[in-house]
Chains A and B, each alone.
Chain A
Amino acid sequence: DGGITQSPKYLFRKEGQNVTLSCEQNLNHDAMYWYRQDPGQGLRLIYYSQIVNDFQKGDIAEGYSVSREKKESFPLTVTSAQKNPTAFYLCASSRDTPSPLHFGNGTRLTVT
């Protein structure tokens, strides 16, 4: 079955360390997205990519970086510059527009 795989499910890091969250899809979708979810705030867009080797900042890109070297992969790096990195991170993809998003099961990042 096709889908989106996010790994790991839980991730713990010390403050000051960079950490990379993995997102892989086998749906052959062109567009991929990273959202951050905090309780009571819904989902906020961090970065998105509509095509390989191209990506755009979302609403809360500061302290994050991404790459899109392959169609299937869209890793997110949470850098030490992100002031409040503890959150639930969701990766999504879509075939085209206005197709709905398909979501992975998320990575819960805890930074102490």
Chain B
Amino acid sequence: AQSVTQLDSQVPVFEEAPVELRCNYSSSVSVYLFWYVQYPNQGLQLLLKYLSGSTLVESINGFEAEFNKSQTSFHLRKPSVHISDTAEYFCAVSERDAGGTSYGKLTFGQGTILTVHP
């Protein structure tokens, strides 16, 4: 069975500082990896995803994540954060079979609350 561990429950940073939100997963098969963001009292929005190909994936708002198979990690980074990045971030993993199918069942980490201070 797959599992996801987000190593930090809360990360406070100052505006324009860099940030890294850590995510490690456990799985016996190949996986797809996702980062989602949640603003208060809302649903989750996809931030970025790793399906195949380049291990470095980027979002349109400056976040990036790198898939590291040997360390089973998918850490999220941003070189300079804004106040508007304050939210809860979830790492998620979906196992895939030999045919590449995952059936969409995601296992989520516990979440990391990112708070950006002025």
The interface stretch among A13-21, A35-43, A66-74, A75-83 is A35-43
What residues of B have a CB within 8 angstroms of the CB of A2 in the complex? none
How far, in whole Å, are A104 and B90 apart by their CA atoms in the complex?
16
A107 smallest CB distance to B (angstroms): 10
**Chain A, range 95-112, C-beta contacts under 8 Å to B:** 97-106, 108
Give the interface SS of chain A, mostly helix, strand, loop or mixed.
strand
Interface residues on A, range: 20 to 34
B42 touches A33 (CB 8 A): no
A106 touches B42 (CB 8 A): yes
**Chain B, range 29-55, C-beta contacts under 8 Å to A:** 32, 34, 36, 41-46, 49, 51
A residues near B, CB below 8 A? Answer: 4, 6, 31, 33, 35, 40-45, 48, 50, 58, 90, 92, 94, 97-106, 108
Q: Give the 4 A-B residue pairs with the shortest CB-CB distance, closest first.
A: A103-B43, A42-B108, A43-B108, A94-B104
Extra inter-chain contacts (5) besides given A42-B110, A92-B43, CB under 8 Å: A40-B110, A42-B111, A90-B44, A97-B103, A106-B41
List 26 contacting pairs A-B, 8 Å CB cutoff, sorted by A. Answer: A4-B43, A31-B103, A33-B104, A33-B105, A35-B108, A40-B9, A40-B110, A41-B110, A42-B4, A42-B6, A43-B90, A48-B104, A50-B104, A92-B44, A97-B102, A97-B103, A98-B94, A98-B102, A98-B104, A100-B49, A101-B44, A101-B106, A103-B43, A103-B45, A105-B41, A106-B42
